[in-house]
Amino acid sequence: MFHFSNFYHFSGVANLSELKSEILTLGERLQVIGLIILAEEGINATAASTDSMKLDEFTDELQNILQVKFRNIKRSSALLRRSPFRKLKIKIRKEIVTLGVEGIDPARDAGTYVEPEEWNNLISDPDVLLVDTRNVYEYRLGSFQGAVDPRTLNFRQFPEKLQKIIESQKPKKLAMFCTGGIRCEKATAVARQMGIEDVYHLKGGILEYFERIPSSQSTWNGSCFVFDGRITVNQNLEAKPEPLCSACGQVKTKSPETGEYECHQCVEYPMKKNQVALP
């Protein structure tokens, strides 16, 4: 049984190289594996262990090191055939989630958090345009009813796609969501930079919504792609088998145009192969 802890935090982080070494030492001591992205804007992490107590200790000590309190820590467990990570890997990047827009500060400019219990009421407002900030292959697996798919292959394409959506639909209000909250939080800062003042994002993302909203009250259709060994989960947060690409092992999704299963990761997916943006 593997236990997972997913978390992020937007705040100023300094001395990244020293911090990397300190976290690696902590991970080795507590036998935690995973992937952590560090940048001056904050931290984005997926940590895993077969020992849930050591994983909690790792998360607590990391908060002490950074002198922050992570807002949304997602904990989950799954029976996996193989380890989801080989070791603890820490990468220093310019951004903890790559958007490529200068001058964006989510800690300062992000929109309004909406608790999962209030989400259904918000998105039922006819003045609210609901936008999925995830990539097209994630949208194909599942999304909220009525959500707009920007048809991106990566998050860097999102600002341009969002600009076109705003110009064509001229929304009074925007509501955004993603898997765990990090992409939609950053996306709301972009939307506000584009002149939309009433911008909202789902606190804790889709996974928090699954945790707190009964499926009988849910407005979600399908499953949700997750960035760990489970690949996708249903609304009960149970791992849901999906067809995998025989070439690279990544999940395949059904094309709405052809009905065929395609891989977003490698040459099986022609849009990825040719690096052509979706229209």
- Continuous segment of H or E residues that includes residue 242: none
Enumerate the active-site residues: 178
pLDDT of residue 137: 86
Contact 64, 71 (CB under 8 A): no
pLDDT in tens, 162-207: 999 999 999 999 999 999 999 999 999 999 999 999 999 999 999 9
5-14, 21-30, 206-215, 244-253: least confident range:
244-253
Contact 49, 32 (CB under 8 A): yes
pTM of the model: 0.81
Mean pLDDT of the region 97-109: 92
Residue 5 CA to residue 107 CA, distance in Å, equals: 22
Whether the per-residue pLDDT at 262 is higher than 80: the answer is no
Number of CB atoms found within 10 A of residue 250's CB: 17
The string of DSSP letters for 81-105 reads: SS-S-SSEEEEE-S-SS----TT--
pLDDT in tens, 202-255: 999 999 999 999 999 999 999 998 876 667 888 988 877 666 665 555 667 767
pLDDT of residue 275: 41
The top-level CATH class assigned to 106-242 is: alpha beta
Coil, strand, or helix at residue 190? helix
Residue 73 CA to residue 205 CA, distance in Å, equals: 11
pLDDT of residue 268: 44
Confidence of residue 276 (pLDDT cuts 50, 70, 90): very low
Residue 89 CA to residue 35 CA, distance in Å, equals: 5
Coil, strand, or helix at residue 160? helix
Residue with the bigger pLDDT between 274 and 26: it is 26
pLDDT of residue 228: 67
Whether the per-residue pLDDT at 267 is higher than 60: the answer is no
Confidence of residue 271 (pLDDT cuts 50, 70, 90): very low
pLDDT in tens, 39-80: 999 999 999 999 999 999 999 999 999 998 887 788 877 777
Fold (CATH) for 2-92: Alpha-Beta Plaits (3.30.70)
Question: Domain-by-domain residue ranges, the chain?
Answer: 2-92, 106-242
Residue 157 CA to residue 112 CA, distance in Å, equals: 23
Average pLDDT taken over every residue of the chain: 88
Q: Over pLDDT 90: what percentage of the chain?
A: 67
- Going across the sheet that includes 199-202, the strands are 112-114, 199-202, 173-177, 128-132
